[in-house]
A and B are shown apart, each in its own frame.
Chain A
Amino acid sequence: MTAGHPSAPSPPAGDGRTATGPGRLVVAVYAVLALAATGRSAKQIAVDFSTAPLAYSLSAVAAVVYLLATVALARGGPRWRPVAWGAVGTELVGVVVVGALSLTATELFADATVWSGFGQGYGYVPLVLPVVGLWWLARTRPRRGPTDR
């Protein structure tokens, strides 16, 4: 952690690390959203699952995906980067599909999920965050040097 230049505005892109520099912000916001989604789904499922089984199941799925994305982005490296791509990609698909369904097929959603209305209830953070996450993963993609492979 002490190897970098203390005054560097951000770490060099392309070293494969996802949790330093601007990545701290990405991980922090993911962690907050993961907590919010986990808390919400735990409460929904514990209190009354039968009210809106589809919405509550989706809340649980969203919570797991956010937790996975947070951990994967915080760890980084060759093992966790593919997990991060998968989790962040799933979120983008989830928020777009569920967002569209929640507006067109309202009868399916008796109660809101994190992804309802494209993340409206969370200031559209669920819609913006995966885009930022994908951009950040692309930006930190490790460069292959001549010594690789």
Chain B
Amino acid sequence: MWTPLIIAVVVGCAALVGWAGWRAVADRPVILRQLVAAGVVEALLVVEVVVAAVSSATGAGPADVATFWGYLVTTLVVLPVAAVWAFAERTRWSSVVLLVAALTVAFLQYRLVQVWAG
């Protein structure tokens, strides 16, 4: 239940990294379809929050509670900021920012797994 969700988020992030990277190289800004894809990843992150909260409530919570929730809340903020910037910055640099945002979310998944296990 937990691991497939992490894998789904990481795969989604990898797809976003590739797509945004390709558009950055092609000197193109972020398009709406990419933001829809980012929205799907964001929805998976919200599911993670629910799963983590339910697990914690039933006694199987993270080893390091404060760090875990710190990472999880941070994760939720990253893609929306990149999305707002995609509207403000209509150059290739919005693509570069989306790429970095997706990388950050993927890296935070790795840290979340680490912190959960302790």
Contacts and interface: CB of A to CB of B under 8 A. Distances in A.
A12 interface: no
B96 A25 contact: yes
Interface in A5-54: 6-11, 20-25, 28-29, 31-32, 35, 39, 43, 46
B97 A28 contact: yes
Contacts of B96: 22, 24-25
A23 B66 CA distance: 32
B70 A43 contact: yes
Contact of B100 (A7, A25, A39): A25
Contacts of B91: 6-11, 21
A105 interface: no
The prevalent SS among residues of B at the interface is helix
The 3 closest A-B pairs by CB, nearest first: A6-B90, A39-B70, A24-B93
Given A22-B93, A43-B67, 8 more contacts: A1-B88, A4-B90, A9-B92, A21-B93, A24-B97, A28-B100, A32-B104, A35-B74
30 contacts: A1-B88, A6-B29, A7-B91, A8-B91, A9-B91, A9-B92, A10-B91, A20-B93, A21-B89, A21-B91, A21-B93, A22-B96, A23-B93, A24-B85, A24-B89, A24-B93, A24-B94, A24-B96, A24-B97, A25-B96, A25-B100, A28-B82, A28-B85, A28-B100, A32-B100, A32-B104, A35-B74, A39-B67, A39-B71, A43-B66
